[in-house]
Amino acid sequence: MGLVGMVAVVAAACGATDPGVSATQSRLSDGDGQLFPTDTTVAGDDPAPVEPTYDIIPGVVDFGADKPAQPYDGFLTAAFGDIQAFWNDAFVESYGATFEPLSGGIYAAYPTRQEAIPGCGTPTGSTYEDVASLGAFYCIEGDFMAYDDDSLLPSLVNDLGKEAVAVVLAHEFGHAVQARAKEWDQPGVLKEQQADCFAGAWSAHVASGGSDLIVFDDADVRSGLVAMINVRDPIEGDGLADPQAHGTGFDRVGAFQDGFEGGVLRCKTFFTEDRISAMVNILFDREDPNAGNLPLIDANPDPDLGPSDIVTLIPASLEFFWTDLAAANGVPFTPPTLQAYSTAGPFPSCAGVDEQQYPRNVLFCAADNVIYWDQDFALELSQDLLTGDMSVGYLFSNAFSDAIQTALR
């Protein structure tokens, strides 16, 4: 297999034709492109920091002579430059060898490009359509990368931000690392997991201030995580048996987190541990209107088992987890109750909480040990195929974390 790539088509998940080689592909799910699309600034918050500007670093990306300028071009060259610098150090430390730069280069593909892009496993060069069918990829035959600069990247930047694009491209660069580590023949799904892990390790390096070229804050890391969720195996696939499997959103975020917390040395173990047995292998019902997600509220609960929905199962899981952990550590903890309200009000009353904080939010009120949640906002998130059920779960989890912090005081 000469090529590993990801297919991302905004607003429609689809397959791609194989341009003469066996390709590993991911698909971008539908969705509005924001994890929490209406994060609001509460009156009194500090003003947003000034966004850094990035000039194009010559020689990093082959843009061609007449490429339409994109607002992220400078950032992209800085990101690629930093990814290369990161691996210059990390490869020596982890694999004991010098990291060789991509001999074939990095190419921006767009319909009007006149300059050739190398072919991957084909005697002729790659057309824009070839690149667009895969979105972004690394090809071991020619040792080069290419990305769709006309559709894929502009869409990802618009939906998730330029930092998310950098994380996705760090994943693709991870396949070049695997080629240099002589691990190209490992199972495809494990290579994808390790590339996610590499992307996490690099993201941690940037987020911790280790980069001289770019900066990430917490929101940027979150965008990278959304990109990992967004470029996941589709519900119509064959799970881990699919030769193009990358793993579910859970698998991809887990691998990213392993790298973010454990660095490259943690990622290096992926081929020697039994990782596949721990991956989520769920074949979703293609007819499921929720596309594998729990509904916010179960309209037809099982008379014996009860509701199977977000507002029942996720809080119950959080309550079980935190009650057990608090008891094991001798911490008195009374689980909070939950109370819903509408975006338009009327709103609950909680000491110390301004009324402006209630719309489109989930928050814990320490004064009465209640988690108040905006049911309209939660419904919107739960029905977005990008965010899904665990987006609401994330907000509930944050609120439970506030509750346990209160108990620890």
Number of neighbours of residue 132 by Cβ within 10 angstroms: 23
pLDDT above 90 for 92: yes
Q: For the chain, how many structural domains are there in total?
A: 2
The full DSSP string for 196-228 is: HHHHHHHHHHHHTT--SS----HHHHHHHHHHH
Looking at 226, 258, 278, the residue that finishes a domain is 278
Mean pLDDT of 296-309: 93
Residues 85 and 27 in one domain: yes
Stronger pLDDT, 243 or 70, i.e. the higher one: 70
Residues 98 and 184 in one domain: yes
Residue 51 banded pLDDT, cuts 50, 70, 90 = confident
What pLDDT, on the 0 to 100 scale, is given for residue 247? 60
pLDDT above 70 for 47: no
Apex CA 49: angle with CA 44 and CA 53, to 5°? 160
In a domain, 294, yes or no: no
Residues 239 and 139 in one domain: yes
Residues 16 and 154 in one domain: yes
In a domain, 300, yes or no: no
Query: CB–CB of 17/36 below 8 Å?
Result: no
Distance CA 297, CA 51 (A): 40
3-class secondary structure, 323:
helix
Report the C-alpha dihedral over residues 215, 50, 70, 158, rounded to 10 degrees: 90
In a domain, 305, yes or no: no
Stronger pLDDT, 40 or 350, i.e. the higher one: 350
Stronger pLDDT, 141 or 122, i.e. the higher one: 141
Stronger pLDDT, 28 or 363, i.e. the higher one: 363
Q: What percent of the chain has pLDDT over 90?
A: 64
Report the C-alpha dihedral over residues 56, 136, 394, 407, rounded to 10 degrees: -60
pLDDT above 90 for 138: yes
Mean pLDDT of 342-370: 95
What pLDDT, on the 0 to 100 scale, is given for residue 41? 33
Q: In b/e form, how buried is each residue of 341-380, taking b as 16+ CB within 10 angstroms?
A: bebeeebbebeebeeebbbbbbbbbbeeebbbbbeebbbb
What pLDDT, on the 0 to 100 scale, is given for residue 293? 80
Residues 245 and 351 in one domain: no
- Range from 154-158, 208-212, 228-232 carrying the lowest mean pLDDT: 228-232
Q: Is the dihedral of CA 291, 7, 56, 66 positive or negative?
A: negative
In a domain, 248, yes or no: yes
Residues 91 and 212 in one domain: yes
* Residue 242 identity: D
Residue 313 banded pLDDT, cuts 50, 70, 90 = very high
Residue 289 banded pLDDT, cuts 50, 70, 90 = low
Residues 35 and 164 in one domain: yes
Residues 329 and 192 in one domain: no
Residues 173 and 231 in one domain: yes
Stronger pLDDT, 280 or 176, i.e. the higher one: 176
Q: In b/e form, how buried is each residue of 217-245, taking b as 16+ CB within 10 angstroms?
A: eeebbbbbbbbbbbbbbbbebebbebebb
In a domain, 190, yes or no: yes
Residues 234 and 342 in one domain: no
Residues 49 and 184 in one domain: yes
What pLDDT, on the 0 to 100 scale, is given for residue 281? 60
Show contacts of 302-311: CB within 8 Å, 24+ apart. 310/378, 310/382, 310/389, 310/392, 310/393, 311/338, 311/340, 311/378
* Residue 348 identity: P
In a domain, 283, yes or no: no
pLDDT 10s digits, 329-349: 999 999 999 999 999 999 999
Looking at 236, 257, 278, the residue that finishes a domain is 278
Looking at 278, 301, 327, the residue that finishes a domain is 278
Residues 65 and 202 in one domain: yes
In a domain, 239, yes or no: yes
Residue 129's domain comprises 3-278
In a domain, 155, yes or no: yes
pLDDT above 50 for 382: yes
Burial class (CB in 10 A: 0-12, 13-18, 19+), 138: buried
Mean pLDDT of 101-106: 97
pLDDT above 50 for 14: no
pLDDT above 90 for 261: yes
